[in-house]
């Protein structure tokens, strides 16, 4: 992992502390509005619970931490490519920004929300000078914004916020907001289909990239709540759950844990990848809120 340059620590506002969580450095938020845990490795948010509510993010109890590990759960930051990249040959799935320690650059209160800003630079294995910046606004709602900025060379960039949402039972959820969207089905060799139904109900392994960039609602029937996803700067919406067979093949996930989450993630990926000139930037973001 790239060593972190020693700099003057950023002052932390009341309700925010830096602690070791699962053996690695993390920012712990505990305010009247919300509780959250943000790991510096990967700028990876692993927990967010608005006041009086259960955690909205799912985290595997078998996840690995530190030493370049990709945490299983929470909100992995994906980039500068998605999956194996558009050429299918990238060596690190979903890019390298989630496999390096980030630096906290600012921490403040804005009303009842905690705002944490982090940056990653000098970690690009290709040496092109790509920089990544992330802003987390943590309160009754959760907002996450990710920016990738090209260095000295033109790059083709993809990015996503690979959110694992905790649900009562994935077999009982209803996902709304995808009707009329064309999607690539990764369980069927990326064949293209169209979502004609107003509601998506999962009944098996699901890995779809929808051409949708609008609000999506997850009706968590068993969990008795509704999770609303409002994206910005995005082009795609990815829906993923491994189901039983694939989950059993994952060493960092309990065999039966697939029922406890669904990934619904805003993305700029596939044919929506952006070509960034030197110094050009790609920014995408999302806000989550919980309704009952």
Catalytic amino acids? 162, 265
The per-residue pLDDT for range 161-187, each reduced to its tens digit, is: 999 999 999 999 999 999 999 999 999
Residue 106 neighbours by CB under 8 Å, 6+ apart: 10, 115, 116, 117
Q: Tell me the average pLDDT of the chain.
A: 94
Q: Which of 32-36, 86-90, 91-95 has the lowest mean pLDDT?
A: 86-90
Q: Is the pLDDT of residue 41 over 80?
A: yes
Residue 2: pLDDT over 50: no
What is the DSSP-derived secondary structure letter of residue 244? H
Q: What is the largest CA-CA distance in the chain?
A: 54
8 pLDDT band (50/70/90 cuts)? confident
- pLDDT of 92 higher than 80: no
**Arithmetic mean of pLDDT, 187-208:** 96
pLDDT on residue 6: 60
Q: Report the predicted TM-score, pTM, of the whole model to 2 decimal places.
A: 0.94
Cα dist from 190 to 144, 178, 187, whole Å: 28, 18, 7
- pLDDT for position 18: 97
Q: What are the start-end ranges of the H helices in the chain? A: 243-248
Provide the Cα torsion 178, 180, 184, 189; round to 10°: 110
Q: What angle do CA 230, 286, 159 make, to 5 degrees?
A: 130
């Amino acid at each position: 992992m790239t060593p972190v340059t020693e700099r003057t620590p950023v002052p932390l506002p009341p309700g925010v502390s830096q602690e070791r969580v699962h053996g690695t450095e993390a920012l712990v938020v505990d305010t009247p509005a919300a509780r959250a845990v943000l790991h510096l490795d990967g700028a990876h948010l692993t927990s967010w619970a608005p006041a009086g509510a259960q955690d909205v993010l799912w985290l595997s109890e078998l996840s690995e931490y530190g030493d370049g590990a990709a945490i299983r759960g929470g909100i992995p930051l994906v980039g500068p490519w998605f999956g194996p990249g558009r050429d299918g040959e990238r060596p690190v799935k979903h890019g390298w920004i989630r496999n390096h320690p980030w630096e906290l650059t600012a921490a403040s209160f804005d009303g009842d929300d905690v705002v944490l800003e982090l940056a990653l630079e000098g970690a690009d294995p290709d040496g092109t000078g790509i920089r990544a910046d992330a802003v987390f606004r943590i309160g009754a709602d959760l907002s996450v914004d990710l920016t990738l900025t090209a260095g000295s060379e033109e790059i083709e960039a993809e990015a996503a916020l690979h959110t694992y949402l905790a649900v009562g039972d994935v077999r009982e959820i209803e996902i709304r907001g995808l009707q009329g969207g064309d999607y690539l089905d990764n369980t069927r060799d990326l064949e293209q289909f169209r979502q004609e139904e107003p509601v998506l109900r999962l009944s098996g392994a699901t890995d779809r990239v929808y051409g949708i960039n609008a609000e999506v609602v997850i009706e968590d029937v068993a969990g008795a709540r509704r999770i609303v996803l409002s994206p910005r700067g995005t082009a795609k919406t990815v829906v993923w759950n491994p189901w039983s067979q694939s989950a059993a093949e994952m060493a960092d996930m309990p065999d039966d844990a697939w029922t406890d989450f669904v990934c619904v993630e805003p993305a700029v990926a596939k044919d929506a990848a952006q070509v960034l000139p030197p110094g050009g930037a790609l920014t995408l973001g999302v806000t989550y809120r919980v309704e009952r």
